[in-house]
Structure 1
Amino acid sequence: MHPLVTVVDDDESVRESLPDLLTELGFSARAFSSAEEFLTSDCLGTAKCLILDIAMPGMSGLDLQRELALSGRHIPIVFITASRDETIRALALKRGAVDCLFKPFSETVLLAALHAAFQ
């Protein structure tokens, strides 16, 4: 069984392309358009890693990170963001994210972050 990596991003192109790449890399993948959608899904208990956009309408990626921590769920998180704001990146890492990748990122960088998440 391949580990399940979930993608949460409001950008449809990311939700379509990233799961395909993850599958090619040997993971199972599911995509969600919002943090709220992920929280109500059956993947909440089975996700082994979360690739999470920081800026989304409604609940942000940082909000979801905090919500998961408060509920005692420890899912490794790799943030992805189009923002080049180092302050937000530093905050995500300080709160326990495995990595924070700037879009667009390479397959190599993503694979390194996933490898770190599964350590």
Structure 2
Amino acid sequence: MNVTQLLVSIIDDDESVRESLPDLVKELGFSAEAFSSAEEFLASDHVDQTRCLILDIAMPRMSGPELHRELMRRGRPIPIIFITALKDDTVRPRLIEQGAVDCLFKPFTDDALQEALSSALRAN
């Protein structure tokens, strides 16, 4: 598997995350696209090419978990790594139970992201 061909889409309403996280993902050897909302991602032509989503949980309008359910409803089961600034220990197990690959709490380490991406792409 050639990782340079794998697209990781990042959806977060926080501009600083959209500016920094794609650089890190690219350093790890993947292609990356950033979106400011779930709706922007769904309207893009990147849905079918995306091999993994890094998805913020709490966003205006459509939340990360709502986007996850919408993708499943559309028959597009993209592996998802949720990210959140919310420090709620019940969130991670619940999201993983619903099919997420992982849930990382901001700020997370490069190693934690790399491990989650490896898991997501093995699942794909």
TM-score by length of 2: 0.93
User: Is 1:90 paired with 2:122?
Assistant: no
Distance 1:53 1:90 in 2: 16
Match of 1:25 in 2: 28
Match of 2:11 in 1: 8
| Structure 1 unmatched ranges of 5 or more | none
User: Is 1:59 paired with 2:54?
Assistant: no
* Identical-residue share of aligned pairs (%): 62
Match of 1:80 in 2: 83
Distance 1:85 1:63 in 2: 18
Tell me the amino acid that sits aligned with residue 73 of structure 1. Answer: R
Picking from 38, 42, 52, the partner of 1:39 is 42
Match of 2:109 in 1: 106
| Structure 2 unmatched ranges of 5 or more | none
Distance 1:14 1:74 in 2: 24
RMSD: 0.8
| TM superposition outliers: structure 1 runs of 4+ over 4 Å | none
